[in-house]
Structure formats: structure tokens, C-alpha cells
């Protein structure tokens, strides 16, 4: 909770006519007063404004202690996790697919061993590099296409609906194209990522720029922002929440494409996907499940990070209900 | 109409421009299907004068302000904003705020139009930043201006954390940071409660006396116009034309609840109603 800022009253050296509200002395003790004053003299403009500002102040409702909030957010997740583990364990006890399905504890042990190997961390590093490179490219391509389409009417008429259409296409569909162009190569995966995820980023830019309030544009022009300065100081910041939404969605699609690519192409046995496919080939099912858990965990973590940034941006922009968590 | 005292002597400081509209018409759209927003408006505003434009819906007030601000061009006629003296860098005003060579036109809107991604202080600094004023000086000017509108200490806040009245004062500080000689106001207090509006009238009047800029103030509120203006210009609707002009020869400071203002407001309201009534027939 932000504290109340210090409030200063200013003396304008007597030259300003401030402070003559109700100088005629005809006043009532009322809404303009500082609360407790029942004095028959009217407050100065300074006092009256300060009193009004104090009355207008809306504080965010108290959120309670951090530990309490953490607990409230955590226990439903713990129960969900426990239920999943229980169903899993029950399936094992029921001898459902006995040769394949391992107990949760066996997988946990496997996961623990895995975390101790340098090979695992190499796989994480390889995948992270590929993810970062591909995602940066996704953002660059999506950003350029999005801003151009939003700004050039001909371009919008030409490919606007194509972008929306591409967004609904599963990135796996780009695999044949990537394979034909680049062969069994990491570049094919990058192509899948860009074609699969850039449309989502582009759409974030397009809707963000489309929805810049005209009043803010007008204000920006009046304040002297023209051309590039208008884009830099008004259009892009105003579009930012929507752009961020596009970036988040773009990440999800890029991650899907990356995983699909690593599973399908498997040229890099050191990547997370490659390791999983290898484990599957050797019938090492505990490792497969352990890797799945790792991949899901990474996905969730990045999503949580995006959501946190999104929430803090919305809060700063005043787009969030004050009582929201 | 009662006249208590002559209006205060105008003190144009050489930077407040005059505004001259000559036979201005504005049509939105093409000649066949377009809508005529303004028709043959001629209007002169003296340097440092406070002119209130009053009109019902459809009087083309936003179009008119856009034309004067240079955001739009008239279909016919000419708009001239003329400054006699040149702005002097570093000249100090009576409020102690240093001038930084600003020119042009400032505007205040009904919904403050503060940028939500900037703090209040950064909003006030923006026009200075766009002019290339250095960080330290920007900060000092913004602090001074926020103090001037009684928002000292609120600089680090975000606009959405302020009340409507505080936002309008912040927007006023941002407009002052432009250091423009001409201030256009598009129903700036229309969305505020009466108590806040009253106080902001005092605030605006004091700033105007202090800094001597030219003001064109659009409002639906006849009393507000009588409270603030040196002159009230009544506009017709669809298309907007100048119907009548009322000088406000009342001493300042004024009170919105004074009988003189009530009398004047009644006169203006009668004429406004007869103008509006023509559309019902």
C-alpha cells in the first residue's frame, strides 16, 4: 500500500488571487471544510482543495498478511496436485498398463536423479537457447508485421485476415514446410516457431494500435508530439497492454512449436524434446514422464512470469479493479 | 444588465496571442453528403482575453477548437493566431516559473487526457521533454507547476489514483508546462461535481490573472461562462454560427452564486433556449 504523499500548501506571495473563496463571509460549515471546523469563516482555496482531495482519496482495501495470501493461493493447488498423484497411484495399483506406468515415487526418484546429471542441464540449456532465439525472432517479425499492417491500409486489406487465420493454425502444420526448406535442422524448428507464433504477436500490436484512445492522440498532438515522437510517446505506450497480451500468447505458441519441433525433428538429442524421444525409444518410461513434468513446469513458470508482468502493467495503467488480487 | 465595475485591465505580456476567425466554415465529408459543422463564423479574441463559448449539442465546439489548435483546416475562411511579441527564453513569470521558449496552443479536455502510463509528474514533464528541455530543469518546472495547482507531493502518483478534480488540475499543470500563450478549454469541468468545479473556477481564474494567457473556454454551463468569461459568445447548433455576444462587465474575483451572474446567466439562457427551440419546430 502506498502511503499518503506529503501535502504542501503553497503561498503565492500574495500576488495571486487564490484564497478568496467565499471572501464575502457568507459560508456554511460544510463540504468544503476540513472536517472538524465549524468556524464561520470560509477556508482558503488551498485549504478547500486540500480538504476535497483528502475526501476523494480512495485507498486500496487492505490485503492481509503475506503469509495468509500465499496460503490462500497455494492450498487449492496443493489439493489439485495431491488428487492427480492419487489418481495416478490408483491407476498403478489397479495394474493399468503395468509395463509402462510407473509409480509416482519411481518417477520422482527418476526426476531427482535426472536433476543431478549434467546431461539434463545441458538439455535445458540447449532448449532454452533455441527458445530464446526463436522467440526473439517471433517478436521481431510479429512486431514489424503488426505495426505495418496497423499503419498501412493496403497491407491490412491484403493480409489482415490472413494473420488472424494463421493464428488458428497448429504450428505442426508448418513442419513439412520447414523440413522441405531446411531439412532436419534446427532452422526448421525456428521456422515453425515464427510462422506459428508471430501472427499472435502481430495481432497484439494491431489491436493495440487500433485501440489507442483518439482523445490521447489528440492530447499528444496538442502537447507537441508529431510523427515519430507521437508513436514513441503516445501510440506505443497506449498500445502496450494489448501488445503484452500478444507477446504472452506468442510465447505459448512458440513453446508449442518448439516442443513439437524437438519431438518431430529430434536432431538434437541433447534438447529436452530430443531426450524425451530418446527415452521413449529405449523404453525408459520413468524418464519420459519425468521430462514431461519438467516441460510442463517450465511452461507454467514462464506463464506465471508473463501474468505477473501483465498484472503490474494493468495496475499501473489503472486498468485493474482496485480490489483485484 | 447590472454592471458593478469594469472588467480588470488586460495585461497581455506580449506572448498572449490574439485569435481572429474570419468567415470560417467547416464541412465534414464531401459537398453532397457532408455535414456542415460550422457556418460563417467570425470572431475576434483579444490578447489575454477570457472568452467563453456557449452552445447546445451540435454547435461544433470541438471542431472550432481543433481549427484554432491547428489540428484541422477550415473548409472556407481563415483562422489566425497572432502573437505580437516573441517569447523570451528564461523570462520569469510572476509565479516564478521560468519560461522555456514554448509556443503554440495548449488544450484542456473534459476527460483530463492524462497519459495513464506516466506518473503525474512525468505527464507534466512531457511537453518539456518534447521540446528537448533537460531532465533536471524539467523536473524543477513540473514540481513548481504541480505546487501551483495544489498538487505538490502527488507527482509520483498515477493519474488513475487521483480524483476527477485532481486529474483536471494535473492536466492544467501539463497545459501550463507547454507555456503556450493560448489555452483552449473543451468543457474541462463538465464532468466534475459542483463543489470541485467551483474551486477549479477560482484556481483557473487565479492562474489566468497570474500568467495572462488568452483563453477560449467552451461550456454548456451558462453560469460557468458568466463566472469566468470577459465575454460570452453564444453559438447556434447545426450548423454552428455566432448567435450573440454578451460582455461580462463584472468585477473579479466573482462568485458563481452572485445575483449579477444569475441575472446575466438568465439573459443568456433565454436566448440559448430560443436558439435551441428553433430546432424543435
Q: What is the ipTM of this complex?
A: 0.81
Residue A95 backbone class (left: φ over 0; alpha: ψ -120 to 50; beta: rest): left
Q: Which residue of B has its CA nearest to A5?
A: B153
Question: Which pLDDT score, from 0 to 100, does residue A63 have?
Answer: 65
Residue scoring higher pLDDT (A245 or B211): A245
- How near does any CA of chain A get to the CA of B116, in Å? 5
Determine contact: A233 vs chain B, CB below 8 A: yes
Contact status of A32 with chain B (Cβ, < 8 Å): yes
A225 touches chain B (CB under 8 A): yes
- For residues B29-63, one letter each, b for 16 or more C-beta atoms within 10 angstroms of the residue's C-beta and e for the rest, the string is eeeeeeebbbbbbebebbbbbbbbbbbbebbbbbb
- Smallest CA–CA separation between B171 and chain A, in Å? 10
Span B148-206, pLDDT tens digits: 888 888 989 999 988 888 999 999 999 988 888 889 999 999 888 888 888 889 989 98
Contact A261/A270 with Cβ under 8 angstroms? no
Sequence-distant (≥ 6) Cβ neighbours of residue B151 within 8 angstroms? B120, B166, B169, B170, B173
> Are residues A318 and B166, on separate chains, in Cβ contact within 8 Å?
no
A101 touches chain B (CB under 8 A): no
Closest Cα to residue B195, out of A5, A59, A4, A28? Answer: A28
Mean pLDDT of B252-279: 86
Measured between beta carbons, the chain A residues lying within 8 angstroms of B116 are: 316-319
Sort out which chain A residues have CB atoms less than 8 A from B131's CB and list them. Answer: 224
CB pairs under 8 A between A and B: 135
β strands within chain A, DSSP E: none
Residue B62 to residue B203: CA distance in whole angstroms: 24
| pLDDT band for position B88 (cuts 50, 70, 90) | very low
Q: What is residue A243's predicted lDDT score, i.e. its pLDDT?
A: 95
Decide if A223 and B69 are in contact by the 8 Å CB cutoff. no
Q: Quick one: average pLDDT of B249-274?
A: 88
Mean pLDDT of B89-111: 56
Which residues in chain B have Cβ-Cβ distances shorter than 8 Å to A50? 150
CB contact under 8 A, A52 and B165: yes
Task: For residue B92, give the DSSP letter.
Answer: B
Residue A197 confidence (pLDDT): 94
Separation in Å, CA of A211 to nearest CA in chain B: 14
Give me the residue spans of the domains in chain B. 18-83+181-277
Query: For position A287, what pLDDT does the model report?
Result: 87
**pLDDT truncated to tens, each residue of chain A (325 aa)?**
444 444 444 444 333 343 333 344 333 444 444 444 444 566 688 888 888 887 776 655 566 778 888 888 888 989 999 999 999 999 988 888 887 788 888 889 988 998 888 888 998 999 999 999 999 999 999 999 999 999 898 999 898 889 988 888 888 888 888 888 888 888 899 999 999 999 999 999 999 999 999 999 999 988 888 888 999 999 999 999 999 999 999 999 999 999 999 888 766 778 888 888 888 888 888 888 888 999 999 988 998 999 999 999 998 888 876 554 4
Chain B residues with beta carbon closer than 8 angstroms to that of A10: 147-148, 150, 152
Contacts of A119 (CB under 8 A, 6+ apart): A270, A275
CATH superfamily of B18-83+181-277: P-loop containing nucleotide triphosphate hydrolases (3.40.50.300)
Whether A237 and B117 lie within 8 Å, measured CB to CB: yes
Q: Which of B117, B206, B255 sits opposite A17 (nearest CB)?
A: B206
- Give the closest of A18, A53, A219 to B166, CB-based: A53
Tell me the nearest-neighbour CA distance from B235 into chain A, angstroms: 24
**Could you give the C-alpha distances from A24 to A34, B149, B257, in angstroms and in order?**
19, 23, 11
When CB atoms are compared, the residue of A5, A16, A225 closest to B206 is: A16
Per-chain mean pLDDT for chain B: 81
Nearest CB partner across the interface for A218, out of B71, B95, B131:
B71
pLDDT for res A55: 77
Residue B217 pLDDT greater than 60, yes or no: yes
Domains of chain A, start order: 97-317 (1.10.3720.10)
How many Å apart are CA A177 and CA A230, to the nearest integer?
A: 40
DSSP three-state, residue B87: coil
For residue A270, the model assigns a pLDDT of 81
Please give the share of chain B, as a percent, with pLDDT higher than 90: 23
Q: Does A60 touch chain B (CB under 8 A)?
A: no
> What pLDDT sits at residue B14?
55
Residue with cell string 505495426: A147
A72 touches chain B (CB under 8 A): no
Our CA-based measurement puts residue A313 at a distance from the nearest CA of chain B, in whole angstroms, of 8
Q: Which of residues 277 through 296 in chain A touch B, CB cutoff 8 A?
A: none
CA distance B252 to chain A (A): 9
Question: Which chain A residue has the Cα nearest residue B107?
Answer: A222
| A133 phi, psi to nearest 5 deg | -60, -50
Pairing verdict, β B182-186 and B105-108? parallel
- CA dist A268 and A245 (Å) reads 31
What is the structure's pLDDT at A321? 66
User: What residues 11-30 of chain A have any CB closer than 8 A to a CB of chain B?
Assistant: 12, 15-18, 20-24
Closest partner CB to B153 (pick from A8, A48, A234): A8
pLDDT of B115-130, one tens digit each? 999 999 999 999 999 8
Q: At what angle do helices A118-151 and A236-265 cross, to 10 degrees?
A: 130
* Most confidently predicted of A96-110, B68-82, B216-230: B216-230
Amino acid at each position: 500500500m502506498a502511503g499518503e504523499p506529503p501535502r504542501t500548501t503553497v503561498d503565492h506571495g500574495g500576488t495571486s488571487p487564490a484564497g478568496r473563496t467565499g471572501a464575502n463571509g457568507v459560508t456554511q460549515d460544510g463540504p468544503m471544510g476540513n472536517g472538524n471546523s465549524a468556524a464561520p469563516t470560509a477556508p482558503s482555496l488551498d485549504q478547500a482543495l486540500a480538504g476535497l482531495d483528502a475526501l476523494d482519496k480512495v485507498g486500496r482495501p487492505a490485503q492481509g498478511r503475506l503469509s495468509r495470501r500465499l496460503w490462500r493461493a497455494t492450498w487449492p493447488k496443493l489439493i489439485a496436485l495431491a488428487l492427480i498423484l492419487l489418481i495416478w497411484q490408483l491407476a498403478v495399483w489397479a495394474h493399468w498398463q503395468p509395463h509402462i506406468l510407473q509409480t509416482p515415487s519411481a518417477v520422482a526418484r527418476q526426476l531427482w536423479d535426472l536433476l543431478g546429471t549434467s546431461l539434463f542441464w545441458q538439455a535445458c540449456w540447449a532448449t532454452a537457447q533455441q527458445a530464446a532465439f526463436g522467440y526473439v525472432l517471433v517478436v521481431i517479425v510479429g512486431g514489424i508485421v503488426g505495426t505495418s499492417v496497423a499503419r498501412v491500409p493496403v497491407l491490412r486489406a491484403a493480409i489482415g485476415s490472413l494473420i488472424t487465420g494463421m493464428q488458428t493454425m497448429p504450428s505442426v502444420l508448418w513442419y513439412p514446410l520447414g523440413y522441405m526448406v531446411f531439412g532436419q535442422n534446427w532452422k526448421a524448428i525456428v521456422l515453425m516457431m515464427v510462422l506459428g507464433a508471430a501472427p499472435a504477436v502481430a495481432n497484439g500490436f494491431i489491436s493495440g494500435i487500433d485501440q489507442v484512445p483518439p482523445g490521447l492522440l489528440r492530447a499528444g498532438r496538442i502537447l507537441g508530439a508529431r510523427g515519430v515522437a507521437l508513436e514513441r510517446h503516445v501510440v506505443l505506450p497506449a498500445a502496450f497492454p494489448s501488445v503484452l497480451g500478444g507477446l504472452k500468447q506468442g510465447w505459448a505458441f512458440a513453446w508449442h512449436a518448439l516442443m513439437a519441433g524437438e519431438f518431430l525433428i529430434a536432431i538434437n538429442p541433447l534438447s529436452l524434446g530430443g531426450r524425451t524421444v530418446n527415452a521413449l525409444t529405449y523404453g525408459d518410461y520413468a524418464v519420459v514422464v519425468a521430462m514431461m513434468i519438467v516441460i510442463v513446469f517450465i511452461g507454467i513458470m514462464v506463464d506465471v512470469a508473463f501474468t505477473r508482468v501483465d498484472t503490474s502493467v494493468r495496475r499501473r495503467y489503472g486498468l485493474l479493479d482496485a480490489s483485484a488480487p | 444588465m447590472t454592471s458593478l465595475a469594469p472588467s480588470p485591465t488586460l495585461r497581455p505580456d506580449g506572448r498572449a496571442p490574439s485569435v481572429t476567425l474570419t468567415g470560417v466554415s467547416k464541412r465534414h465529408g464531401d459537398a453532397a453528403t457532408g455535414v456542415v459543422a460550422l457556418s460563417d463564423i467570425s470572431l475576434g479574441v483579444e490578447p489575454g482575453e477570457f472568452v467563453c463559448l456557449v452552445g447546445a449539442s451540435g454547435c461544433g465546439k470541438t471542431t472550432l477548437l481543433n481549427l484554432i489548435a491547428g489540428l484541422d483546416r477550415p473548409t472556407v475562411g481563415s483562422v489566425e493566431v497572432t502573437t505580437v511579441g516573441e517569447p523570451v527564453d528564461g523570462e520569469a513569470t510572476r509565479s516564478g516559473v521560468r519560461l522555456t521558449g514554448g509556443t503554440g496552443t495548449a488544450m484542456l479536455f473534459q476527460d483530463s487526457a492524462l497519459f495513464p502510463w506516466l506518473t503525474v509528474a512525468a505527464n507534466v514533464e512531457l511537453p518539456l521533454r518534447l521540446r528537448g528541455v533537460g531532465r533536471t530543469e524539467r523536473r524543477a518546472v513540473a514540481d513548481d507547476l504541480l505546487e501551483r495547482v495544489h498538487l505538490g507531493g502527488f507527482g509520483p502518483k498515477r493519474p488513475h489514483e487521483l480524483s476527477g478534480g485532481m486529474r483536471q488540475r494535473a492536466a492544467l499543470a501539463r497545459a501550463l508546462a507547454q507555456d503556450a500563450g493560448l489555452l483552449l478549454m473543451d468543457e474541462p469541468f463538465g464532468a466534475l461535481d459542483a463543489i470541485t468545479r467551483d474551486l477549479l473556477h477560482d484556481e483557473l481564474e487565479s492562474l489566468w490573472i497570474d500568467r495572462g494567457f488568452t483563453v477560449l473556454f467552451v461550456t454548456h454551463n451558462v453560469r460557468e461562462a458568466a463566472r469566468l468569461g470577459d465575454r460570452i459568445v453564444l453559438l447556434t447548433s447545426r450548423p454552428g454560427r455566432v448567435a450573440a455576444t454578451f460582455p461580462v462587465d463584472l468585477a473579479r474575483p466573482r462568485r458563481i452564486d452572485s445575483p449579477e451572474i444569475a441575472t446575466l446567466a438568465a439573459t443568456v439562457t433565454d436566448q440559448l433556449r430560443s436558439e435551441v427551440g428553433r430546432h424543435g419546430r
